[in-house]
Amino acid sequence: MPFQPAFQDIAHLGHVELFTPKPEESLAFFTNIVGLHESGCQGDSVYLRAWGDYEVYSLKLTAAQTSGMGHVAFRTKIAEVLTQLVDYLTKQGVTGTWLDSEYGHGPAFRVASPDGHPVELYYETARFVPPPALAPGFKNQPQRYIPHGIAPRQLDHINILAQDVQANRVFFHELLGLRVTEQIIFDDGTEVGAWLACTIKSHDFTITQDRSNARGRFHHLAYFMDSREDVLRAADILVENSVAIETGPHKHTIGQSFFLYCYEPGGNRFEAVAGGYLILAPDWQPVVWTQAERAKGQAWGLQTVQSCHTYGTPPVE
C-alpha cells in the first residue's frame, strides 16, 4: 500500500526561526523577561530553548532587516517517515530542497507553504545535555527549572497568517498529515482560521487569514506554561518590565487555553499559554465556528482586539 501521510507522522513542532531588526533587544527579551536559555550562536543567529524543551533549541533568533518568521521546522516520528514524506511531497508536485545538517539537527527538507512560509522537516536531532549547573533535580525533565522571568516549560505552537487559509490548511492536513481540530468558516464559506495538530494537543499550528495583501506573514509563537497562575504571573512580569500586553490574560474560545499576547522588541507577537484540552478521540471531527459565534469574542466575552486581526510580521509596507 503506498504511503499516505497520516496524523502523527509528524511528531511535533520542532522550532521556529524569528527574524528581528533589533537582535540585541529581542535576545534580552527572550532571555531576561521570558527566561529562555541560550544554547549557542552562529553567524547572525542565537539559539534558545525553554527549560522543558528536550532539543538543543526551540527558537532561532536571527538578525534581519525586518521581523517575521524565518522558517518553522517539524520533526517526523521516525527517520523513514521523513523519507516517505519527502517522496510523497515530490510526487504531489511540491518542490523542496534538502539542507545540510545545521546547529542542533540533521538534514532537513525545506518546502514552502502555499502562502510562501518556509517549512522544514527533519528527523535527526541533538538532544539537550545539561551542563552540571543545569542538571535537573527531577530526572524526568531535561534540565533544572530556573525561576527566572516568565520561565515557560516548552514551545507550544505557532500561528501563521495566510491569504488563503483553506489552501494552507489542505497543505498541512493532506500533505503533512496534521489533524484539523477547529476551524472558523464565515457565512460566505470563507475559511478564516484553521487549527491543526501533530499531537493530541488541541493545536500545534494555526493558520489565520491575513487581511492585508501580503503573503508568508507570521502571527505569533507560543510557549507553554504549566498553570494559568503562571500566565497571570507572566502578566505581572511584563508590566514590571514595561512590556505592553496586547490582550489577555483571557481564555481562548478555540482551544480553551489561557493566554496573553505581547510583542517582542523586534515586533513579533509572543504568547504565553496554559491549559487547553487534549483530544483522545482518534476520529475527532473539526469543531467549526460560524461568523456569528466568533462575533461573540473570546471565551468569557472579551472582544478580540482589532490588532489581533490585523497585525502580523513583517509589517506590511
CB 298 to a second copy: min, Å: 10
How far, in Å, CA of 73 to CA of 76, rounded? Answer: 10
How far, in Å, CA of 75 to CA of 83, rounded? Answer: 12
Nearest CA-CA partner of 206 in 252, 151, 241, 239: 252
How far, in Å, CA of 87 to CA of 48, rounded? Answer: 31
The nearer residue to a second copy, 9 or 210, going by C-beta atoms, is 9
Q: How far is CA 86 from CA 5, 12, 103, 130, 203, in A?
A: 10, 17, 21, 33, 23
- Cα angle 106, 128, 200 (rounded to 5 degrees) comes to 80
Report residue 79 as a C-alpha cell. 527517520
How far, in Å, CA of 235 to CA of 150, rounded? Answer: 9
Nearest CA-CA partner of 74 in 217, 197, 255, 254: 197
CB 46 to a second copy: min, Å: 22
Q: Which residues does residue 183 pair with via DSSP β-bridges, in sequence order?
A: 194, 288
The nearer residue to a second copy, 64 or 119, going by C-beta atoms, is 119
CB 5 to a second copy: min, Å: 15
CB atoms within 10 A of CB 271: 24
Q: Three-class SS of residue 8?
A: coil
CB 268 to a second copy: min, Å: 19
Nearest CA-CA partner of 46 in 24, 67, 68: 24
The nearer residue to a second copy, 171 or 261, going by C-beta atoms, is 261
The nearer residue to a second copy, 174 or 236, going by C-beta atoms, is 236
CB 72 to a second copy: min, Å: 15
CB 114 to a second copy: min, Å: 26
The nearer residue to a second copy, 187 or 317, going by C-beta atoms, is 187
Number of residues written out for the chain: 317
CB 44 to a second copy: min, Å: 27
The nearer residue to a second copy, 199 or 313, going by C-beta atoms, is 199
CB 87 to a second copy: min, Å: 16
The nearer residue to a second copy, 95 or 140, going by C-beta atoms, is 140
How far, in Å, CA of 14 to CA of 156, rounded? Answer: 10
